[in-house]
Structure 1
């Protein structure tokens, strides 16, 4: 909300509701995931496990919709940007990496749903990773100014907040369990790996023409 809310309100004031229809669906669906996560946490705290499990089926379906809707929305938005600027949508690598990371972590969480400690850590890692775009819009500018211009500043602008949130989850395990949970180790390694891969891809000469093909040019 903090990341996209201000930009969205400003855009509506200046240009009206001219976002592509899929953007509105994207906002509703992805916000629904955050609402569902909050409800699921509260249900567990109240020990309402039966309702939690039933809602989990809905959550799995919602995640499947997000896995399709996320890239589709990114492609539509980049098409609109390309029509205005003529620049290759190279930042698609970040968006595609984010939804890939999210999807794999959620699938792993579903497969490990009977192991609650692993399940909840994977769901949290998936959700934190998916929030990188929002945090980058909200705090990315001030964060990037703390570093000299370059690759490090660029990475920190996009991923510093969410990476530290994931690290904080690991620190919590060290403090409370005296060891890192295997699910956190694997999940964090996967999430960090996709972040690094997105940066490598964006720097490849072949990526610009590939990104253009992805938006139909």
Structure 2
């Protein structure tokens, strides 16, 4: 797909753009897989987890597979298959919100979530960003006939999901108490690369990136303001009340005896 046979016509601008989005899809998927794989390799997580955790993993990895398939089918000219697969996303995205919400609440209650993040930001900002992903992805699907908007909004939506992968690759213990913000800022590298590619190819950045990235950044800021407000603290405390998660400090911390 990326190499032309001798004597073949050069790729059209549309074909080059489709190839770019396929490469970006691969890069984002690889980032997420690498983060979770590193966790397993270092013994921070294992396959000996309850079924609900495995179900969450299957649903989210299934989305990555669907996104890669969609990027590949359109880049390789299989438009009819691309359209048929796209209908699956209407069901898969709400399923992701449900599964993600369940696993976040479970994590907060069972062990207080990752200690390198404040419990309130892990719960409230995390849930808000998951909803942001769903909103951007569904918006992208609703305007799929406008391919420029469709593919760019979906790229920003999937960039939101790279946060957990990047959070497992970054040295979070060294970033306390700014680890959550650092992981958010790291995800912006994907929209930034895409914006630079737009400017190079078209001389300007497509408005879909400004809207998508603006909504994403705005959601993050608002969710953090809420998380660290009296209301945010009260919501968090109520959710974990009477569970093991309530025993950890609200703020980010290094567990006793932790080593890098």
Tell me which interval the TM-score lies in, with the shorter structure as reference length.
0.7 to 0.9
- Distance, in Å, in 2 between the alignment partners of 1:155 and 1:39 is 30
Name the CA shift for 1:143/1:59 in 2 (closer, same or farther; >3 Å): farther
- Distance, in Å, in 2 between the alignment partners of 1:121 and 1:175 is 16
Match of 2:163 in 1: 132
1:180 corresponds to 2:211: no
- Distance, in Å, in 1 between the alignment partners of 2:129 and 2:40 is 21
- 1:81 is matched with which residue: 111, 114, 118? 111
CA contact (8 A) 1:143 1:157 kept: no
CA contact (8 A) 1:140 1:156 kept: no
Q: CA deviation at 1:125?
A: 0.6
Match of 1:6 in 2: 38
- Distance, in Å, in 1 between the alignment partners of 2:171 and 2:138 is 29
Match of 1:102 in 2: 133
Q: CA deviation at 1:53?
A: 0.4
Q: How many residues align?
A: 205
- 1:170 is matched with which residue: 191, 195, 199? 195
CA contact (8 A) 2:38 2:168 kept: no
CA contact (8 A) 1:89 1:212 kept: no
Name the CA shift for 1:29/1:113 in 2 (closer, same or farther; >3 Å): same
- Distance, in Å, in 1 between the alignment partners of 2:227 and 2:86 is 35
Match of 1:212 in 2: 237
Three-state SS of the structure 2 residue aligned to 1:3 is helix
- Distance, in Å, in 2 between the alignment partners of 1:69 and 1:204 is 26
- Distance, in Å, in 2 between the alignment partners of 1:115 and 1:143 is 43
Larger Rg: 2
Three-state SS of the structure 2 residue aligned to 1:121 is helix
- Distance, in Å, in 1 between the alignment partners of 2:39 and 2:68 is 25
Q: Which runs of 5+ in 2 are unaligned?
A: 1-32, 243-260
Name the TM-score, length of structure 1 as normaliser: 0.84
Name the CA shift for 1:115/1:139 in 2 (closer, same or farther; >3 Å): same
Q: CA deviation at 1:156?
A: 4.8
- Distance, in Å, in 1 between the alignment partners of 2:110 and 2:180 is 25
Match of 2:101 in 1: 71
Match of 2:75 in 1: 45
> Larger helix proportion, structure 1 or 2?
1
- Distance, in Å, in 2 between the alignment partners of 1:138 and 1:54 is 35
Cα deviation code 1:55-83 (max 9, x no counterpart): 00112211121021111111111110149
Q: Which moved more, 1:4-13 or 1:173-182?
A: 4-13
- 2:85 is matched with which residue: 55, 58, 63? 55
